[in-house]
Structure 1
Amino acid sequence: MSSIASPGLWAITVAVLVVLLTADFAVTRRPHEVRMREAVGWSLFYLALPAAFGVLVWQVYGPRPAVEFLTGYVVEKSLSVDNLFVFMLLLGAFAVPAALAQRVLLYGIAGALALRAVFIALGAAVLHSGAWAFLLFGAVLLGTAGKVLRDAARGGEHTVDVANLRSVRLVRWLLPVTAEYHGAALTVRHAGRRALTPLALVVVAVFMTDIVFAVDSVPAVYGVTEDPYLVFATNAFALLGLRALYFVLRNVLDRLRHLDYGLAVILAFIGGKLILHWGHKQWPDAVPDVPTALSLAVIAGVLVTVTVTSLIANRRSGRTGPPDPGSPGRGGSAVTGSSPAGRPDRV
């Protein structure tokens, strides 16, 4: 499995990521509520970065890796939009102050980058062991697509049970937790001993959701490209813009009522593509291999379709304004419980 990246390129990429994350932490050092203008500005910046990177890859390495990167980025970005909906529920369940929301998301992004690096390395090792890995990844994505589709058909219900989160219960068992937030601090001295703040609990919950998301997203991108460097780059660029994108989309996520159907189709398509790729490796003359350009067209077409159908459905139902904070979200989402906690039961 060849890669366009040399050790030097890997080092430069990691260094740039560290600089960008450091800049983000500097921006969020003083907690403040993010306004739309600021969020849009950062979102445009983080959209310009992968576009410039794609042009650079095209010029230096040719069109094929550039198209693979662009396709993988679109896949990751589409999956991350659905992830934002879960983050929105988490922040609501923890009653995170608006001024601290971007710091929570940034901790989650930093943790997600580290986790994706581990999962990408494991995925590369599995693929290197033999073509059977494409069958494994394909089966994982088809299974995930089926679950997403079933949940969407049942109403796409997302719930956050703040009383029954394993990760949060474990953290509370290990250390005491204060009843209120203390700015951006994760720990404080309370009653003569070190205690966690609710901010630490929500960071743990977001970090645990990152593990669940990585299980789906990394095999999906490996369905587009076998280059570990490009897989990492697509994940990194998609995650870096997640914080700003959250504040741009938080009032419109609820309107994307058909997004889950689109994600199910995309995951099923890539899962089928991986299985065909395995067959192509075994019987190259009998089984076709799906071109990356076709994958990009299909994925883009699905996303456009579900966006248009969501807008039409919203217009017919009269949903024109942003959802009420306490009302059920897309497909009947809900937040249960009264104290800071985190994601659904498996977290």
Structure 2
Amino acid sequence: MSPGTLSAASGSTIASFTLWAVTVAALLLLLVVDIVLTRRPHEVRMREAVGWSVFYLVLPVLFGFYLWAAFDGGVAVEFFTGWVVEKSLSVDNLFVFMLLLAAFAVPTELAQRVLLYGIIGALVLRAVFIALGAAALKSGTWAFLLFGAVLIVTAVKVLREARKGEAHAVDIDSMRSVRLLRRLVPVSPRYHGFRLLVRENGRTAITPLALATVAVFATDIVFAVDSVPAVYGVTEDPFLVFATNAFALLGLRALYFVLRGALARLRHLNYGLAVILAFIGVKLVLHWAHGIWAWVPEIPTAASLGVIVTVLFTVTITSLRAERVPPPPQADEA
């Protein structure tokens, strides 16, 4: 039995009720800590952001070693592979958050609260999609084919946008959620700290912070549609799917302030994400086909981890090299 088929063969999750309870309780505790840290509007310094980013990078590593000791290496490899996939997708999510914050002109001292709302919304949406995905997988192997098709179509879309230079484009005026809110309720022209609702001119209005939060939630839905099928291509265990998503999303608030200057330099990131999504999509289709025709090969999870890490390393190097290339000289105007 290969590591990549461990969960499929067992047909159940590795986690007991106790492990589920402890994991969820730890997640809630970390979210409470984040809420406490953002209770006072302030600009996040690099030292603070780096410290918390390192903390949230060490956590999944320790958790992976725990899985290795408590279960086996196959489970740990599934977790680490899924976490790398989800972390790479969450960085893309972070880039969109950055553009949304700029589009809404969110003050720097309020940005971390919008990010926290976005992370909480993403966790809730991922939990819903994970449950739906688990139910779909139990209903039949057709779900693997569906998930694979979704990822391949998404990969083609991401690649087209990257080639056109449209990746990470954000137009808040075209977002249906934003337009709907503006029609239904009045919007205050200025920010009021962390307040989402204010009383102005005898009527209740939402603040720009509330509008930005709704826009972030709307993008969370789009990313959940892509990320959950992607991690189900690595493991079929709902607990591992949830854990990889949770660990990938935790710490994004701090990571934003570390990477906000570097994110714009990763100009080839979407090319890499397109390759990763297409690769996992093909992996799911092969897994579906293997269930019907035994001679169809499957891609081991360890090999998937190697491919994903290689792709991310490659696009990072090519992006940094592209930054060093000077722009072509412009012809003098007549």
Q: Distance in 1 between matches of 2:78 and 2:104?
A: 38
Q: Distance in 2 between matches of 1:186 and 1:11?
A: 32
Q: Which residue of 1 aligns with 2:236?
A: 226
* TM-superposed deviation, 1:317: 2.8
Q: Distance in 1 between matches of 2:246 and 2:222?
A: 17
Q: Which of 178, 187, 191 pairs up with 2:197? A: 187
* TM-superposed deviation, 1:131: 0.8
Write the letter of the residue equivalent to 1:86.
Answer: V
1:255 aligns with 2:274: no
* TM-superposed deviation, 1:38: 0.7
Write the letter of the residue equivalent to 2:40.
Answer: R
Q: Which residue of 1 aligns with 2:253?
A: 243
Kindly provide the CA deviation profile for residues 36-67 of structure 1, in whole angstroms up to 9, marking residues without a partner as x.
11110010000011011001010001111110
- Indicate if the aligned counterparts of 1:187 and 1:196 stay in contact, CA closer than 8 A: yes
What is the correspondence of 1:238-317 to structure 2 with a 5 Å cutoff? 238-284=248-294, 286-317=295-326
TM-score normalised per structure 1: 0.89
Q: Which of 64, 68, 79 pairs up with 1:58? A: 68
**Paired residue secondary structure (1:276):** helix
- Indicate if the aligned counterparts of 1:156 and 1:260 stay in contact, CA closer than 8 A: no
Structure 1 portions without partners, runs of 5+:
319-347
Kindly provide the CA deviation profile for residues 77-102 of structure 1, in whole angstroms up to 9, marking residues without a partner as x.
00111111111110011000000000
**Paired residue secondary structure (2:173):** coil
Q: Which residue of 1 aligns with 2:123?
A: 113
Q: Which residue of 1 aligns with 2:332?
A: none
Write the letter of the residue equivalent to 1:170.
Answer: L
- Indicate if the aligned counterparts of 2:167 and 2:270 stay in contact, CA closer than 8 A: no
Q: Distance in 2 between matches of 1:293 and 1:241?
A: 26
Q: Distance in 1 between matches of 2:298 and 2:170?
A: 41
| Range that drifts further, 240-249 or 148-157 | 148-157
Q: Distance in 1 between matches of 2:170 and 2:233?
A: 31
**Paired residue secondary structure (1:195):** strand
Q: Distance in 2 between matches of 1:165 and 1:142?
A: 25
**Paired residue secondary structure (1:31):** coil
What is the correspondence of 1:60-79 to structure 2 with a 5 Å cutoff? 60-79=70-89
**Paired residue secondary structure (1:246):** helix
**Paired residue secondary structure (1:177):** coil
Query: How big is the alpha-carbon RMSD for the aligned residues of Structure 1 and Structure 2?
Result: 1.0
- Indicate if the aligned counterparts of 2:86 and 2:245 stay in contact, CA closer than 8 A: yes
Structure with greater helix percent: 2
* TM-superposed deviation, 1:174: 2.5
**Paired residue secondary structure (2:170):** strand
Q: Distance in 2 between matches of 1:109 and 1:57?
A: 25
How many residues are paired up? 317
- Indicate if the aligned counterparts of 2:158 and 2:167 stay in contact, CA closer than 8 A: no
TM-score normalised per structure 2: 0.93
- Indicate if the aligned counterparts of 1:24 and 1:106 stay in contact, CA closer than 8 A: yes
- The 1:166–1:13 alpha-carbon spacing in structure 2 relative to 1, beyond 3 Å, is same
**Paired residue secondary structure (2:325):** helix
